[in-house]
Amino acid sequence: MNRAPFQRSLLLFVVVLVAAQAAQAAEPAKPKPVKEFPLDLAIIDPAGKDKQPPYIVMFPGGKDEDDRDVRRPLGRLEALRGQSKLFPESNKDPGLPVVMRGLRLHRLPSADGTLAGYEMELQGEFNAVRVPANKDEVARFLAGEPAQFSLRGEKNYGVYSYDSTTTIKLQLVGDGVVIRKLEGEFTFREGLRRYTSDPLSLEPPAGRDYLYRGERTELPNLPTL
């Protein structure tokens, strides 16, 4: 009896089964339905301790996009903002550290109770940026599909002002969220002089398919820009 055809069929079945199991394992867990708003998501740095949020640094090395030394004007801008209590070590950084505390998705009802729209809030250490969110992107996000949101914040202190934009690609997974990519832009003015940081673009490190993760938990109420 020739067993070769049977062995080849068995081997093919095993290969297909293993491939199917690997594909299933690679698929993200279905998101837990969102039943209440606002939806609070604390951002967590996997490399940090005790579920600390991450922080990014604009103007790395204290230089702007034109390679000018902006440490002194940055120091004066940070003095208006205040010293970091979450990351005291970051106060010595010559650049501009920006904490990414969490995200809050607001559902906006109309007068008759139907959906009027959404707003997304990005919280830092001292304040938050809250902007209208695209309904289609929110629908994808709530369905567990990858979505992208851009949040722009502006603040004017008179002599000083700044303009920042943070773009986040993220996805609801299981009971939390994963952030796949983060991009940042930052410009500030001191008097008549303007300084712009090199654009920031962060992606997952080798061996991980996400940059940061997030948990559903209550966030503080911060002043919004």
The percent of residues in the chain predicted with pLDDT above 90, rounded, is 81
**Domain count across the chain:** 1
| Rounded Cα–Cα distance for residues 105 and 117 (Å) | 11
In a domain? residue 222? no
In a domain? residue 125? yes
In a domain? residue 24? no
**Could you tell me if 60 and 198 are in contact, meaning their C-beta atoms sit under 8 angstroms apart?**
yes
20-41 confidence digits (pLDDT tens): 343 344 567 898 999 999 999 9
In a domain? residue 21? no
In a domain? residue 9? no
The Cα angle at residue 65 between residues 68 and 80, in degrees rounded to 5 = 70
pTM (predicted TM-score)? 0.85
Domain containing 171 equals 29-216
In a domain? residue 10? no
In a domain? residue 4? no
In a domain? residue 162? yes
Asked if pLDDT for residue 199 goes beyond 50, the answer is: yes
Q: How many helices (H) and strands (E) does the chain have?
A: 3, 12
209-220 confidence digits (pLDDT tens): 999 999 999 999
